[in-house]
Amino acid sequence: MQPNKIAITAAPIAPVLAERWSPRSFDHEYLLSQDEALSILEAGRWAPSANNLQPWRFAYISRNDLKHAELCEKGLTGFNQSWAPHASALIVIAAKISTHDGKENTGRAYDAGLSASMMVVQAQELGLHTHHIGGLVREEIKTLLGLDESLEVLTVLAVGKVAPAEKLEGPAYEREIAPRVRHELDEIMLYGKP
């Protein structure tokens, strides 16, 4: 059984945003089609970026790739190692640290975050779900993928079809069925009131 995770908002938002949530229970039999994978990656490619620098770089690792299991085992930490192997794919999101003239791109993480956000929305539009993974061993990921020092690994995005929460156990199950919670808009507004 899937919990109701539709966002309760102060004003209407697009259904694709209201219905988005980050499961840990993924259907271990489902693999993304080539069209689905390309659609998600294209959405990330077309994100906005400062000065059109497009610092994001992606590594797409399907579950049928041997690197998928290795990434879960060596590149993820904690209980991420127990649920992430069931995701259809893992997308490593990295960013180029410097601009073409050698200066540090201080906006790289923001721009790559916009790109990741676009991929999340596109996946949701396709009837898929995503989960950003922050518990990473970044140097292991760089070694596994052969990435050089010009790149910074920021996150890993798990993608796939959601599976019943009951496939999880313990704290992972409890988190899966918990309601979505966000701060109220008044709590996060720094200035101005709509």
10-23 tens-digit pLDDT: 999 999 999 999 99
Domains of the chain and CATH, by start: 34-177 (3.40.109.10)
Cβ 87 vs Cβ 63: under 8 Å: yes
The pLDDT confidence band at residue 111, using thresholds 50, 70 and 90, is very high
Query: Percentage of the chain with pLDDT > 90?
Result: 92
φ/ψ bin of 55: left (φ > 0), alpha (ψ from -120 to 50), beta (otherwise): alpha
pLDDT at residue number 124: 98
pLDDT at residue number 2: 62
Which H helix or E strand runs over 129?
A: strand 129-133
- pLDDT of residue 1 exceeding 60: no
Question: What does the alpha-carbon distance between residue 77 and residue 16 come to, in Å, rounded to a whole number?
Answer: 30
39-91 tens-digit pLDDT: 999 999 999 999 999 999 999 999 999 999 999 999 999 999 999 999 999 99
Q: Strand pairing partners for 59?
A: 92
Interacting residues of 56 by C-beta distance below 8 A, sequence separation 6+: 44, 47, 49, 93, 94, 95, 111, 112, 115, 116
